[in-house]
Amino acid sequence: MELLVFGLNHKTAPLGLRERWSLSPGESELALERISSEIAGSEHLILSTCNRTEFYSAIPASSGLARNLDQENSPLGELTNFYLGGDEENAGLDEHFYLYRQENAVKHLFRVAGGLDSMIVGETEIMRQLKDAFALSEKNSASGKMFRRLFPEALKVGKKVRTSTSISEGCITPGQAALRLAMEALGELTGKRALLIGSGVVAGLTAKALIEQDLRNFTVMNRTTESAEAMLEEIKLEGDELEAEIVPLDSGLVDALASADLVISSTSSLEPIITAENIGSVQRRRDSAPLVIIDLAVPRDIEPASGEIGGVHLFNIDDLNRVIQGNLSSRHDQFAKAEEIVRKQIEVFYGQMNYLEVDPVIRHLIERFEIIRRGELQSTLENFPPDQHEAVDRMTRRLVNKLIYFPIERLKSIRDMQGLSEDEIAFLKKLFLPK
């Protein structure tokens, strides 16, 4: 099988392009159904988060797509068409995409699971996102033998990286990064009012960070009152008193914006829920007083043009990176340890895969020789007196063991090699297994 990863992330593509490629769970299901039907015997998984959209595939080496990957011309355009369909808007964007194959694909996945490829190095949310992506692939019958070993192994690697190193300790959370941006613009937050829109995980973390800085006044907007109440319960510290108001998302938006000093938005809407026109109206009522808006959603909740309005400080998910990057140098040694864990686990994974492919060949060879030995022994024992039958049996066993010793040892040696190619495994099976 040809294993590949195709996609883009916060390192290779701006937010505008990432949000175009961002897929909701429903959209991912439709894409999985379509691409799985394109190539028989293929396996697929889609990982779409705020900072990346990646397509993981295992496809037969004999498929047209796999053969085209080895052509001199760039295969990225063909992959774009394969995964998202022919769209002229995606033309000429090859520089923003990456393609990893075989061992490099495994390495990339293990680094993603370990939080080493995240905007916030060492963050743990990616583990949940990978689990959800694998569950969605399984639900849609898009995973097979390869992925059922690869992705659970990736999750084990992610756990090992975090338990064997302190890579996750001291990392700035998205909430802390958002807090720093807010304080850069507003100063002390005591007495300020925050508007929380949506109930995303990052929004909750940000709200908790705000409370720790003595911000106590909140307006919570959500599509349902139940979700808004759940958000308030989640962010409230034990024994803490918050001045909180719940407002339906479909009403009172402009009034809620006008009374806020800080807006944190993190919904799953596919279109902006706050327009530049909304913000313009709000700022006229506020006499252009400072308004910090932190848009944590992908696709974005706030029209980018809102940031050009007087008094507005608009930040998005990419702006968090500026705060986060300054925190990496202090954890450089832990990063190196984590990379070494990834390297070793790649070897372990390929060793396991080789065992799965080669061990049946070894077992069949041993069983086949034993069948032949018994057949010949059965027809020969009648020529020997009964008291010699056991000795003849032992002699034939020793003879067969000596004859088979060298090919078995060679097969075990091949099995223990890292990364047997599909052609090499196919040759071994053709040589030793029955048709």
Total-model pTM: 0.71
285 and 162 part of one domain: no
The verdict on residue 411 lying in a domain is yes
Same domain, 304 and 159: no
Sheet holding 262-265, edge to edge: 243-248, 217-222, 193-197, 262-265, 291-295, 312-316
The answer to whether 50 is a known catalytic residue is: yes
From 109, 135, 170, give the residue that closes a domain.
Answer: 170
Q: What is the CATH number of the domain that holds 99?
A: 3.30.460.30
**Structural domain boundaries enclosing 206:** 174-325
Gap between the Cα atoms of 267 and 263, Å rounded = 13
**Residue 44 is which amino acid?**
H
Phi and psi torsions of 419, nearest 5°: 75, 55
Do 165 and 281 share a domain, yes or no?
A: no
Give the model's pLDDT for residue 373. 86
Show pLDDT as tens, one digit a residue, over the chain (435 residues): 788 999 999 989 888 888 888 898 999 999 999 988 888 888 999 999 988 999 999 888 777 777 777 665 656 777 877 887 766 565 567 788 899 988 899 999 999 999 999 888 888 889 999 999 999 999 999 999 889 999 999 999 999 999 998 888 767 777 778 888 888 888 888 888 989 888 666 677 777 888 888 888 888 888 777 777 777 777 765 556 677 788 877 778 888 899 999 999 888 888 899 999 999 999 999 999 999 999 988 889 999 999 999 999 999 888 877 777 766 666 677 888 999 999 999 888 877 776 666 777 778 788 888 888 888 888 888 888 888 888 888 888 888 888 888 877 777 777 666 556 666 666 776 776 666
pLDDT at 310: 92
**Among candidate residues 170, 200, 227, the one where a domain is terminated:** 170
Cβ-based neighbours of 63, under 8 Å, separated by 6 or more = 2, 39, 42
**Token pair belonging to 220:** 């919570």
Q: Is 345 a domain residue?
A: no
The CATH number assigned to the domain holding 252 equals 3.40.50.720
Domain membership of residue 264 (yes or no) is yes
- Do 214 and 92 lie in a common domain? no
Residue 76 belongs to some domain of the structure: yes
Does one domain contain both 51 and 97? yes
Closest CA to 302 of 311, 291, 289, 315: 315
Residue 151, pLDDT score? 94
- Total domain count for the chain? 3
Do residues 300 and 419 share a domain?
no
Do 25 and 78 lie in a common domain? yes
Residue 74 Cα distances to 80, 93, 97, angstroms: 11, 12, 11
Clarify whether residues 163 and 178 are in a common domain: no
Q: Nearest Cα to 8, choosing from 357, 298, 349? A: 298
108: tokens are 């990339």
The catalytically annotated residue of 3, 4, 23, 50 is: 50
In this structure, is residue 150 part of a structural domain? Answer: yes
CA–CA distance from 372 to each of 150, 365, 396 (Å)?
38, 11, 11
Q: Please indicate, yes or no, whether residues 242 and 298 belong to a single structural domain of this protein.
A: yes
Q: Is residue 347 part of a domain?
A: no
Residues 227, 288 within the same domain: yes
Residue 334 lies in a domain: no
Q: Which of 170, 188, 221 is the last residue of a domain?
A: 170
Tell whether 179 and 155 lie within a shared domain.
Answer: no
Inside any domain, residue 287: yes
Buried b (16+ CB within 10 A) or exposed e, 146-180: bbeebbebbeebbebbbeebebbeebbbbbbbbbb
90 in the same domain as 178: no
